Chains A and B, each alone.
Chain A
Amino acid sequence: SQTIHQWPATLVQPVGSPLSLECTVEGTSNPNLYWYRQAAGRGLQLLFYSVGIGQISSEVPQNLSASRPQDRQFILSSKKLLLSDSGFYLCAWRRVMNTEAFFGQGTRLTVV
């Protein structure tokens, strides 16, 4: 069966520090991968998605970037965090032929 791992579960970082959140999927190949940010009252905002290694589509221009160095690995990064980057970040995957998405447990990021 397929599983998605996302870590860390919680993270407290100072303003101006770098960020690296990692997401990996097991049990499938060539998945579509997604990063979302969830904020109270704002739902899930799509940040990035990827249909293959090295292929990244950015939905919202902001202080974040994403990379996909391996087929089942998706990384969310920032060089310098802002207070406004605080939030709950969710990774998701989807089989190309099956269009529902499966979500990880999420990372609660607090920038202080």
Chain B
Amino acid sequence: AQSVSQHNHHVILSEAASLELGCNYSYGGTVNLFWYVQYPGQHLQLLLKYFSGDPLVKGIKGFEAEFIKSKFSFNLRKPSVQWSDTAEYFCAVKVNRDDKIIFGKGTRLHILP
């Protein structure tokens, strides 16, 4: 069965620091990949998605992620974080042969002002 692994459970950074959150998945076939964000008190919303094509995808609020098929990875990056980026971030995968969307355990990001 497919699974998603997020390496960092809790990350603390200062404003303007660079961010990279790791995500690896286990499935050898074609996948769709997602990063979702949950701000405090708000519902889950999509940050960015990869379906096909350019492996470097750009999302909202300056986030980007790179799909590296050989490493089964889809890491999330942002060159300079802001206090408002404090949230929980979830990586998710959907395999093309299936209708399930599987999520990782999430990473809590805390930005110090």
Q: Enumerate chain A interface residues (CB-CB to B < 8 A).
A: 32, 34, 36, 41-46, 49, 51, 57, 59, 90, 92, 94, 99-106
Contact A106 B43 (CB under 8 A): yes
Q: Enumerate chain B interface residues (CB-CB to A < 8 A).
A: 6, 9, 32, 34, 36, 43-46, 49, 51, 90, 92, 94, 99-106
- Taking CB atoms, residues of chain A closer than 8 Å to B94 are 99
Taking chain B's interface residues, is the majority helix, strand, or loop, or is none over half, making it mixed?
strand
The total of interchain contacts (Cβ-Cβ below 8 angstroms) comes to 54
Most buried by B among A51, A99, A106: A99
For the complex formed, measure the closest distance between the CB of A24 and the CB atoms of chain B, giving whole angstroms: 16
For the complex formed, measure the closest distance between the CB of B74 and the CB atoms of chain A, giving whole angstroms: 14
- Taking CB atoms, residues of chain A closer than 8 Å to B43 are 90, 103-106
List the 4 closest A-B pairs by CB distance, nearest first. A43-B105, A44-B103, A103-B44, A43-B106
If A99-B51, A100-B34, A104-B43 touch, whether A43 touches B104 (CB-CB below 8 Å) is yes
For the complex formed, measure the closest distance between the CB of B41 and the CB atoms of chain A, giving whole angstroms: 10
For A101, the closest partner residue in chain B by CB is B101
For the complex formed, measure the closest distance between the CB of A97 and the CB atoms of chain B, giving whole angstroms: 11
If A43-B90, A90-B44, A104-B43 touch, whether A49 touches B99 (CB-CB below 8 Å) is yes
Contact A49 B90 (CB under 8 A): no
